A and B are shown apart, each in its own frame.
Chain A
Amino acid sequence: MSEFETSFRLSWHVVVRNWTVYRKDFLANISPTLADPALMMVSLGMGLSPFIGQILGLSYAGYLAPGMIATTALFTAFFDCSYGFYVRMNYESIFKAMLTTPIGVREIIIGEFLWVFSRASAMGGIVGLVLAAMGLVPHAWQLLVFPLIAGLISLPCGAIGLLSAGYVRNINQFQTVYSFLIAPIFYLSGVFFPLGDQPVLKIVVNVSPFYHGVRLMQMTAWGRGTWTEVLVHLVGLLLFAIVLGWLAYRRAIRKLTT
């Protein structure tokens, strides 16, 4: 077996471990990721639509829908990789035991990314189905693309979570990361309103990996946009995934070895 295959197989064990624990509390684990976007769709989408009228030629519910899938991916990835990883590392000592087996730090981190990719894709897929039931997904092929984009969004967002898990001094400090980084990213990346009229924000938001994911989701859901735009945002998302993922890996080495 090649080094790549061996390493991948060992990384996959980390996914199996996380899934084994996750499914024990399946309902509790799945509820917030589904309930939050569903509630937002009902309250903001359905509730505000009649007052807002059309945005970019869409009903407000139609405008909001793709952002909800992206949001599910953001929160799934950030929370699992921040609080979740921190608890696995410091309270449950999972990695201490894992590192006595052929699994190394690299496999742990790749495994965490595979896990969060799988989880975000699944959640993105399910939210997509919910939106379809609300009549907001016109084409079946879109339901296949949503999970893929959700998975891609989870990589840089998960990396931010891992990085914060590597730097916080106690578990309460994640609240600060949420308030000053994740919440602004969430509210200002074009999920709730188009950025077209905000010249400054329109530029600043490019440093948010989430924004590129939101744009990909919107282009997919609305069936608008050029291939160049798709390419730009795809490259943006992947670049953030690679750079932040690499930084997270470097930090994890320092946390898991001495």
Chain B
Amino acid sequence: MPAPVTRDQLPDVPAARAISRSPILQARGVTKRFGDVAALQEFDIDVHAGECVGLIGPNGAGKSTFIGCLYGVVLRTAGQLTVFGHDPAKNARAIKQRLGVVTQDNALDEGLTVVENMRLYARFVGLSKAQATPRIDELLAHMALEQKRDATIKMLSGGMKRRLTFVRALLSDPELLILDEPTTGLDPAVRHLLWEKVLSFRQAGKTVLVTTHYMHEAEILCNRIVILNRGAVVGSGAPRDLIQRETPGFVGIFSPEAEARLRPLIRDGWELFHQGRQCCVRAPELADLLGLQERSGILALQLRPSNLEDVYLKLTGKELAEDE
């Protein structure tokens, strides 16, 4: 079982040093419409080498649409887009030679074995047989899949398939790794293993672009977050800055019945809101919430620092403020 990853292990210093001046990915006003529906509107972003940028947002927010635009499977309706200096609508191949993609579906050849799948992909990305063999062995070992090299894909567990999809994306030793919901549906052990691998990839000065529904994942992996909602950016920044800016302080989570008694005790600068059915109070200091517990005589279900999930729920409108 891999050691748990914490934010403190983030390779802030080497990654920061590796961040170069000119962006390897630049989007200006990128828009994608399907008929009247704008899947992505006026999207701007700069990604520099060495960064890990997280795209978060509800289903249908435009995350995967943007990812598709980067390597030419989604053709944008408007806007400027360059990756490694090339426009993906004109020269996708030049871009694809330098990136690895962990697609949302694993899309592995189910009837073939692990090693057959990887040999094919090594061929696709231009590795000779002599280059491919050691590279495949190394990556399979890296992802703890060496015992499975002759197993058919059908025989693998969901976690193993996902790890193999990572191996596939890393075969060409890409400069930019794109992860489209990399750990959805995986157990915590596999998730931690994959985070480890992404962090070590980043540590090598490489760039990562990740979409995820897991805020904890975004917080661990990314130095910068972009929150999308209905195709538009609703917030962006370093995870800590975003929290500081949008939802500073601490959150107490109470049962729905507590609301009536808590409401009169809410002070200026505090906030009472709902997450799902639960009643939440945000206050600048932990001591404020401890005081609230004392005065109301109600113990919170949970007291915690504000996190990225709070920011996400606030900015995507999924958190319902009391006046809504």
Same complex origin of A and B: yes
- Asked if A104 contacts B168 (CB within 8 A), the reply is no
**Interface presence of B261 (CB below 8 A):** no
A256 CB to closest chain B CB (Å) equals 7
**Interface presence of B120 (CB below 8 A):** yes
- Asked if A99 contacts B73 (CB within 8 A), the reply is yes
Identity of the chain B residue whose Cβ is nearest the Cβ of A6 in the assembled complex: B93
A:17-31 near B, CB below 8 Å = 17, 20-21, 24-25
C-alpha spacing A96/B205, complex, angstroms: 28
- Asked if A20 contacts B107 (CB within 8 A), the reply is no
Q: How many residues of A contact B (CB 8 A)?
A: 24
**Interface presence of A13 (CB below 8 A):** yes
Pick the most buried of B34, B73, B124: most chain A CB atoms within 10 A of its CB. Answer: B124
C-alpha spacing A20/B124, complex, angstroms: 14
Do A102 and B111 form a contact, CB below 8 Å, given A13-B124, A96-B105?
no
Pick the most buried of B99, B100, B107: most chain A CB atoms within 10 A of its CB. Answer: B107
Residues of B within 8 A of A258 (CB): 34, 68, 73-75
C-alpha spacing A13/B124, complex, angstroms: 6
Identity of the chain A residue whose Cβ is nearest the Cβ of B178 in the assembled complex: A100
Contact of A13 among B72, B101, B116, B123 (CB under 8 A): B123
C-alpha spacing A128/B126, complex, angstroms: 37
Pick the most buried of A13, A24, A102: most chain B CB atoms within 10 A of its CB. Answer: A102
Q: How many residues of B contact A (CB 8 A)?
A: 32
Residues of B within 8 A of A16 (CB): 120, 123
Identity of the chain B residue whose Cβ is nearest the Cβ of A25 in the assembled complex: B111
**Interface presence of A98 (CB below 8 A):** yes
Contact of A102 among B93, B110, B112, B169 (CB under 8 A): B93
Residues of A within 8 A of B124 (CB): 10, 13, 98, 101-103
**Interface presence of A171 (CB below 8 A):** no
C-alpha spacing A99/B105, complex, angstroms: 13
Residues of B within 8 A of A104 (CB): 72, 92-93
B:97-152 near A, CB below 8 Å = 97, 99-101, 103, 105, 107-112, 116, 120-121, 123-126
Identity of the chain A residue whose Cβ is nearest the Cβ of B168 in the assembled complex: A97
Residues of B within 8 A of A99 (CB): 71-73
- Asked if B121 contacts A101 (CB within 8 A), the reply is yes
Identity of the chain A residue whose Cβ is nearest the Cβ of B102 in the assembled complex: A100
Pick the most buried of A25, A98, A104, A258: most chain B CB atoms within 10 A of its CB. Answer: A258
Do A94 and B73 form a contact, CB below 8 Å, given A100-B101, A102-B125?
no
B42 CB to closest chain A CB (Å) equals 19
**Interface presence of B96 (CB below 8 A):** yes
- The contact sample of 26 A-B pairs, CB cut-off 8 A, is A10-B124, A13-B123, A13-B124, A16-B120, A20-B112, A21-B111, A24-B111, A24-B112, A92-B109, A92-B110, A93-B105, A97-B103, A97-B107, A97-B108, A97-B121, A97-B168, A99-B73, A100-B96, A100-B100, A101-B96, A101-B125, A102-B125, A103-B124, A104-B72, A104-B92, A258-B73
**Interface presence of A257 (CB below 8 A):** yes
A165 CB to closest chain B CB (Å) equals 18
